[in-house]
């Protein structure tokens, strides 16, 4: 049985942010809290990083993502065609846990922030 998420809180926060774009980061805080996640970001599949809505806890990792060039080495964009077909993806759809354990993106970038992999 999965965790119970407060989707009403997320929906309300997104609706408020749609009416007032200054609230997008706060909406990502609500999304993270409501789903029990470390953080949340609203990725733009067309690559308009780094100016994307993000929860407070994601700020330091996003800063490093850009500053240290991980933005140009993010293999997760290869998941986009699968995301379009399925509507949801995880790295585990294309990588094994053993591959993730050796991959520099996950070990040198994500691991120091206590992050693992993406679910969308």
**Could you write out the three-class secondary structure of 24-53?**
HHHHHHHHHHHHCCCCCECCCCCCCCCCCC
Do the domain assignments include residue 42? Answer: yes
Q: How many domains, the chain?
A: 2
Domain span including residue 119 = 73-120
Residue 63 inside a domain? The answer is: no
Provide the pLDDT confidence category of residue 120 given band limits of 50, 70 and 90: very low
Given 13, 29, 55, the domain boundary residue is: 55
What pLDDT was estimated at residue 25?
Answer: 96
83 and 43 belong to one structural domain: no
Q: What is the predicted pLDDT for the residue at 83? A: 87
Give residue 2's pLDDT.
52
Instruction: Tell me, yes or no, whether 102 lies in a domain.
Output: yes
Distance (Å, whole) CA 94 – CA 110: 18
Report the distance separating Cα 116 and Cα 120, nearest Å: 13
Which segments of 36-110 does DSSP mark as H helices, in order? 59-67, 80-86, 97-102, 104
Say yes or no: 83 and 120 in one domain.
Answer: yes
pLDDT tens by residue, 62-111: 999 999 999 888 888 888 889 889 988 888 888 888 998 899 999 999 99
**pLDDT for 37-61, tens place per residue?**
899 988 776 766 778 899 999 999 9
pLDDT (0 to 100) of residue 1: 43
Q: Which of 60, 61, 52, 1 lies closest to 31, judged by CA?
A: 52
- Are residues 5 and 50 both part of a single domain? yes
């Amino acid at each position: 049985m999965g965790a119970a998420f407060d989707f009403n809180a997320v929906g309300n926060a997104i609706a408020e942010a749609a009416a007032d774009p200054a609230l997008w980061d706060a909406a990502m805080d609500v999304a993270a809290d409501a789903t029990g996640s470390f953080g949340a970001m609203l990725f733009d599949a067309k690559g308009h990083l780094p100016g994307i809505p993000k929860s407070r806890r994601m700020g330091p990792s996003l800063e490093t993502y850009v500053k240290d060039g991980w933005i140009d080495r993010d293999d997760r964009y290869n998941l986009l065609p699968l995301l379009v077909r399925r509507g949801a993806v995880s790295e585990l759809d294309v990588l094994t846990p053993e591959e993730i354990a050796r991959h520099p993106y996950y070990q040198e970038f994500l691991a120091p922030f206590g992050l693992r992999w993406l679910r969308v």
